[in-house]
Structures are given as C-alpha cells and as structure tokens.
Amino acid sequence: MRTLYPEIAPYRTHRLAVDALHTLHVEECGNPDGIPVIFLHGGPGAGLSPVHRRFFDPARYRIVLFDQRGTGQSTPFGELRDNTTAHLIADIEAVRALAGIERWLVFGGSWGSTLALAYAQAHPARATGVIVRGVYLGREEENRWFNEADGGARWVFPERWARYEAHIPAGERGTMIEAYWRRMDDPDAAIAMAAAQAWLGWEDGAATLLHEPDATSDEDPARVLAKARIEAHYFRHNAFLAHGQLLRDIDRIRHLPGVIVQGRYDIICPPRSAWDLAQAWPEARLEMVLAGHGATEPAITDALIRATDAFADR
C-alpha cells in the first residue's frame, strides 16, 4: 500500500487580505515548476496540518494550501462574519490569482470535498481535475444522519452518542444542531466551551474505523471552540448551498477527470453520499475502501496517493 510522502516545509508563505476583515494564511510546497494543485481542508473550521502537504509527490507537484476563513493562521481567528461557502469559493480564486496559476487540480476531503465540488462547478475552466475523499454534499439529510436524534450514526456509536445527547436537555433534543449552537454562541465562555468539547467529542470518536471510545482530546481549547462554532455555523445553514446543488450542477464538471475515495465504514460522511455523487458523475472513478472517515487511515491514504500519482503520470 502507498504511504504518505515525506514531510516537507513550505518554500513560500503569504498573507492574503481577501476583504477588509479576513486575511488568509497561504502556503506553497513542493516543486515551484510542478503540477499545480489546491488542497482544501475539512471541518469546516479544522485548518491546515503539515500532513496535508504529503498527499502529493513533492518532485512533481506545486502544492498550494490555505487556512480557510477563521481557521488556523488566518485572521481573525474563529470569525463567522462574512464566512460562507460563497466567500470561500471567492477566496480560492484569490489564492489562485496570487499564485499566478491558470488551472489546477482541486483536491479536498470531508468538508473539503464539498468545497472542491462547489469551487470546480463555479469555475470549471480553472480546474484540471477533481479528487475528493469522504464525500459531504451539504444536504440536510447528511447533517441529520450524524448530528440529530433521528439520524443513523447514533446506532453505530451508542456510547459516544449518549454523551453527546446528555449535554442537551431532553426538551431540546429534537434539534440538536440548534441546541448546541445556542450554547456555543453563549456569552458565558464556560458554557460555550463545554458545548464545543461535547460536540467535537462526538465527532472525533467517530472519525476512524479503529478508535478508542473513551479517548479525550488535548487540542488547544481556543481551537476546539473555533472549530465547533464554524462547523455548527455551516451545518445549520446546510453549507450555504441549495438542496442538492452539487448533484444538480454536476454537468459543469463531468468533462474533468475525477476520483472519489470513500471509506466503506465512514460514519461521519456516510457512503451513500459518495454513491449519489458517482451516480450523477459516472465518468468519475469511485473507489470504496476498507476504512472509516480519516484521510490518514491506511486504505484511504493509499487510494488518495495512487490518485494523485496517476494524475501526475497523465
């Protein structure tokens, strides 16, 4: 099985002011004369990690990455104002212009898959291909599957769901996303932080095929709160997309080479979404692998690197 490429450091970083409020952190890695690719991170709100640079052959790719609005080293950190899918699509175009790139491969996983599809459909002339992993189409039924009491994920991880549900009084459990949002938006920092930790505790415990059900996170509390708030902000608005938009507009990118990598046992972004995407986009190659949601699970890493290598070979 293929494994991640060796660790690399950026050869160039940028601070890109995209409006009067938001400034993005942008990195360029690999070969400055290589095949351009834009990496779109998940969450929404997760920010970049050094491991994200390692899905591409650094000798053959010019790898561009950025922290989306409110995440990572972009500022203001945790900001929700002017933070929608449309804003992020415009930001990707601003990053492309900054880098002086005409067209590039679009690569994203989880929430990054949503953004990759939305961007490529908005700007098909700027994409040379699309690789997505752990597909999330921004539909209400996907949000309900994982975060609401009538979804299916609670039946898979009942011990985790019990803790997630217990944080919300019984009378509010009919709309868990909104109930969590009210608490994460509370001016009392202790209330907001407790809700954010419970929210991400549920998510983190379902992220991989093999996991420790009682594991706890040592992530910086400020980042926990920012990520949870940005996620809830996007989920309660169904990713700021019209229902079924990414399937409706798939004809805009059907001419592009596409690869869809999906963990067969992904509980956060269930395989039905990848299947629906593949049915609407039969020209793309769907690869279901023995894994959960995480990009660094061996089977998913193997499939993604085979995909990026194959694209470079072409």
Catalytic status, residue 293: yes
Q: What local confidence, expressed as pLDDT, does residue 189 receive?
A: 96
Cβ-in-10-Å burial (0-12, 13-18, 19+) of 314 comes to exposed
Catalytic residue among 167, 204, 293, 302: 293
Catalytic status, residue 266: yes
Structure letter (DSSP) for residue 11: S
Sign of the CA dihedral with 113 first, then 119, 122, and 127 last: negative
Catalytic residue among 57, 204, 266, 302: 266
Render pLDDT for 77-117 as a digit per residue (tens, 0 to 9): 999 999 999 999 999 999 999 999 999 999 999 999 999 99
Confidence of residue 10 (pLDDT cuts 50, 70, 90): very high
Domain 12-138+241-313 sits in CATH 3.40.50.1820:
yes
Q: What local confidence, expressed as pLDDT, does residue 209 receive?
A: 81
Catalytic residue among 110, 123, 167, 302: 110
Render pLDDT for 148-206 as a digit per residue (tens, 0 to 9): 999 999 999 999 999 999 999 999 999 999 999 999 999 999 999 999 999 999 999 88
Sign of the CA dihedral with 92 first, then 98, 103, and 108 last: negative
Residue 211 above 70 pLDDT? no
Catalytic status, residue 110: yes
Q: Compute the mean pLDDT over every residue in the chain, rounded to the nearest whole number.
A: 96
Express the helix, strand and coil content of the chain in percent, nearest 5 each: 45, 15, 40
- CA separation for the pair 131, 244 (Å, rounded): 20
pTM of the model: 0.97
Mean pLDDT of all residues in 214-231 = 84
For the chain, residues classed under CATH 3.40.50.1820 are: 12-138+241-313
